[in-house]
Structure 1
Amino acid sequence: MKHVSILVPAGEAVVGSIEGPHKVLSQVNDLLASLGQAPAFQVELVGLTRHKAFNRGLFTLRADRLLDEDFRTDLILIPAPHGDLVEAVALNQEFLPWIVRQHQAGAEVASLCLGAFILAATGLMDGKKCATHWLGAPQFAALYPAVHLVPEQVITDQEGLYSSGGAYSYLNLVLYLIEKHVSRDVAVCCAKVFQIDIGRHSQSPFVIFQGQKAHDDEPIRKAQEFIEQHVAGKISIDDLAARSCLSRRNFERRFRKATGNAVAEYVQRVKIEAAKMSLESSQDNVSEVMYSVGYSDTKAFRTLFKRLTGVSPLAYRDKYSRKGPVAQAA
């Protein structure tokens, strides 16, 4: 039986990312008991204090163990902090050496959603792939440049270290761990009980591209605004550089430094984001949407759209159109 330690972090946290894994892993034990089998997990909450209140006292969790107790664990789950992420990491500094020691002793460690910030602060993820919520990806990349951020992925698994994508996709990682440590059949059963899409591997369809503008490079910010205001046109890097009164080489260097994207990639993402909005809200067909964002090659547009979103334009419309079942029922 594996000992699972779900951390109860200091500061604010997403309580669901503590209670949810606890519930699903407990369900595994209940299922195995119904089959006359021994439990797979001993699940305990591990905190810095015995009781911890969240959401202005709306929820209070009781830790089964305190961090300063002498015990070994097999799997550590790091839930998602809430609020200022730099502050969250600072408040949870006491956990970091403990996580490292437990991992060195053989424990696996998994971060859930923005819990990746705490896991990365241990240094264990340096040089490894890590997923997190796409909203936190720019800040994560800036804080932890040694980590290979893969914001499009739902799950990463390297050398006993795991991470999950944003929000409730942590449940996909929990199912993955159940399949790995118990069985595929039990994981599928839990997926059905909790109605979790067990086959999801990408969070790209959920990403809303918002160009990074929290920088002080005014010419680059104006270039970003020009790109966003002219999605239907052909946008030349040379033209953007000239508008910024910069050489192309200097413009491209400053653009990447300020935004985290190459110029061509930024233009593509802005155009595809505009196409997504059109597919969600308008009745234009895919070709009309394609032309409206400055593309004329159908194959190239569909290929780029799928690369950036993980699905085809038609599949995206079917999933996110505002003319969906609720609107139809009304």
Structure 2
Amino acid sequence: MKHVSILPLYDATLSSIDSSYQLFSRVNDFMKYQGKPPFYTVELVGTQKKTKLNNGLYHIHADKNINEIVKTDVIVIPLLCGDFAKAISKNKKYIDWIKHQYHNNAEIVCLCVGSFFLASTGLLNDKKCAVHWAVKNEFKKMFPGIKITDDTIITDEKGIYTCGGGFSYLNLLLYIFEKHLGREISVLASKMFEIDIERKSQNPFVIFIGQKQHGDEVVLKAQEFIENNPTATFTVDGICDKFSIGRRTFERRFKNNTSNSVVEYIQRVKVEFAKKRLETGRKTVNEIIYETGYNDIDAFRKVFKKFTDLSPLDYRKKFAV
């Protein structure tokens, strides 16, 4: 049997705490239906008896204080809301306990932007972390040494699990059940809670937001130029000429400041332009592709799928309003 400690962190969301509690508890019910003993003991474990959640909108009561838990097997860090820096400061009393439990072989299951708090413990150093696309730039600024993954919604590294996307933590919990109890229980939980077990990526949901929190004026002007002209046909040399800068220097500075090459940035802007047209317009897919400045339809389709995991037609079917 595994002991699960769900932490009612200051300014966590009630939904992520309750969902975790319900899913771990229901897995015990599934085991019971199969004539097997319960697998999890689930408790809310805090630094005080009552904690404010969601900017004081709710209060939650802990079952036990962290000082009463000598050994736990799974620590669930819930999704945070509001001011991440403030939440990190308010939750500092958990850090030593979490680190001690992790070094005593506890697994850490971190839900979405709970990763801001987990990163503050130092346990994510030299590890991969999945972060919600909307706060990726903020996370990079606060924790520049942590490697963010863009291609999956779940990371699994040395007993630490993270996920990107507001409710993708449900997929992470299914992943944990599969690791602990096998595919059958994970699929059963997926069916009972109607969670799409095959969701693997944030890419279809991402709205591209260029990283602009840097001090390079030339790069910033180039970004704005590209974004303000999504239908134009660009060359890197042409952009360099416009801003009177050598190509090698410009490409290096652009990559360092935006985490994208110049070509990738142009592609992302054009894909975002096409996505909006696919969502709301009535033009054909080919007409929209030509409107982005691409003459090679197949080339754009490949670029579009690279960043969204969907073809333009499938994207329209999924998101058209």
Looking at structure 1, the residues matched to 26 and 159 of structure 2 have their Cα atoms a distance apart, in angstroms, of 23
Letter matched to residue 2 of structure 1: K
From the superposition, tell whether residues 95 and 195 of structure 1 become closer, same or farther in structure 2 (CA, over 3 Å). same
Aligned structure 1 segments of 4 or more residues deviating by more than 4 angstroms? none
Paired-residue identity, %:
45
Instruction: State the Cα deviation string for residues 20-62 of structure 1 (Å, max 9, x = none).
Output: 1111111111222223221111111111111112235432211
Retained in 1: the 8 A contact 2:9–2:53? no
Q: Which residue of 2 aligns with 1:286?
A: 285
Residues 237-256 of structure 1 mapped to structure 2, 5 A cutoff: 237-256=236-255
Residues 216-235 of structure 1 mapped to structure 2, 5 A cutoff: 216-235=215-234
Retained in 2: the 8 A contact 1:7–1:77? yes
Retained in 2: the 8 A contact 1:138–1:212? yes
Q: Which residue of 2 aligns with 1:25?
A: 24
Q: Which residue of 2 aligns with 1:318?
A: 317
Retained in 1: the 8 A contact 2:208–2:269? yes
SS in 1 for 2:200: coil
Q: Which residue of 1 aligns with 2:136?
A: 137
Aligned residue pairs, count: 321
Instruction: State the Cα deviation string for residues 250-274 of structure 1 (Å, max 9, x = none).
Output: 3223323332322111111111111
Tell me how far 1:218 sits from its aligned partner.
3.1
Looking at structure 2, the residues matched to 107 and 54 of structure 1 have their Cα atoms a distance apart, in angstroms, of 25
Q: Which residue of 2 aligns with 1:187?
A: 186
1:75 counterpart = 2:77 = no
1:171 counterpart = 2:149 = no
Q: Which residue of 2 aligns with 1:265?
A: 264
Letter matched to residue 261 of structure 1: N
Looking at structure 1, the residues matched to 54 and 103 of structure 2 have their Cα atoms a distance apart, in angstroms, of 34
Letter matched to residue 182 of structure 2: S
Q: Which residue of 2 aligns with 1:275?
A: 274
Q: Which residue of 2 aligns with 1:8?
A: 8
Looking at structure 1, the residues matched to 193 and 309 of structure 2 have their Cα atoms a distance apart, in angstroms, of 24
SS in 2 for 1:73: coil
Retained in 1: the 8 A contact 2:54–2:81? no
Letter matched to residue 143 of structure 2: Y
Tell me how far 1:163 sits from its aligned partner.
0.6
Looking at structure 2, the residues matched to 156 and 108 of structure 1 have their Cα atoms a distance apart, in angstroms, of 13
Residues 25-174 of structure 1 mapped to structure 2, 5 A cutoff: 25-174=24-173
Q: What residue ranges of structure 1 are gaps of 5+ in the alignment?
A: 323-330
Looking at structure 2, the residues matched to 256 and 142 of structure 1 have their Cα atoms a distance apart, in angstroms, of 15
TM-score by length of structure 1 reads 0.92
Looking at structure 1, the residues matched to 83 and 275 of structure 2 have their Cα atoms a distance apart, in angstroms, of 30
Residues 206-225 of structure 1 mapped to structure 2, 5 A cutoff: 206-225=205-224
Looking at structure 2, the residues matched to 103 and 93 of structure 1 have their Cα atoms a distance apart, in angstroms, of 16
Tell me how far 1:8 sits from its aligned partner.
1.1
From the superposition, tell whether residues 259 and 54 of structure 1 become closer, same or farther in structure 2 (CA, over 3 Å). same
Q: Which moved more, 1:101-110 or 1:60-69?
A: 60-69
Letter matched to residue 5 of structure 2: S
